[in-house]
Amino acid sequence: MSERRQELEKLHRSLVVPGEEICVIEEFVPGEGAYVLNGVVRSGVVGRVFLDWIQRRVSVINPVGKPRIPRRGSTVYGVVTALLREDLVLVKVFADERLRRYNGMYTGFLHVSQASDKPARSILEVVKPGDVIRARIVNAKHPFQLNIKLGNSGVVAALCSKCGAPLYRVPGQQPLVCLRCGSKENRKIATGYIYVKKGR
Nearer to Zn ion by Cβ, of 101 and 169: the residue is: 169
Phi and psi dihedrals of 73, rounded to 5? 90, -15
**Interface with Zn ion includes 176 (CB under 5 A)?**
no
d(CA 101, CA 35): 17
160 is in an annotated binding site: yes
68 binds Zn ion per the rule CB under 5 A: no
Counting contacts by CB under 5 A, is residue 95 touching Zn ion? no
The answer to whether 23 is a known ligand-binding residue is: no
What is the spatial distance between Cα 107 and Cα 82, in angstroms, rounded to a whole number?
12
Residues 118-137 binding Zn ion (CB under 5 A) are none
> Does 184 sit near Zn ion (CB under 5 A)?
no
Which of these ranges, 51-59, 79-87, 127-135, 153-161, lies near Zn ion under the rule CB under 5 A? 153-161
Instruction: List the one residue out of 112, 172, 159, 108 whose CA is nearest residue 134.
Output: 108
The reply on whether position 12 binds Zn ion by CB under 5 A is no
Choice from 129, 183, 186, 195 touching Zn ion (CB under 5 A): 183
Cβ contacts of residue 154 below 8 Å, gap of 6+? 133, 134, 148, 187, 188, 189, 190, 191, 193
Least Å from the CB of residue 175 to Zn ion: 12
Containing H/E element for 3? Answer: helix 2-11
Q: What is the CA radius of gyration of the chain?
A: 17
175 scored as a contact of Zn ion (CB under 5 A): no
Smallest gap from Cβ 53 to Zn ion, in A, equals: 31
Contact 188, 155 (CB under 8 A): yes
Number of residues lying near Zn ion (CB under 5 A):
8
For Zn ion, the binding residues (CB under 5 A) are: 160, 162-163, 165, 178, 180-181, 183
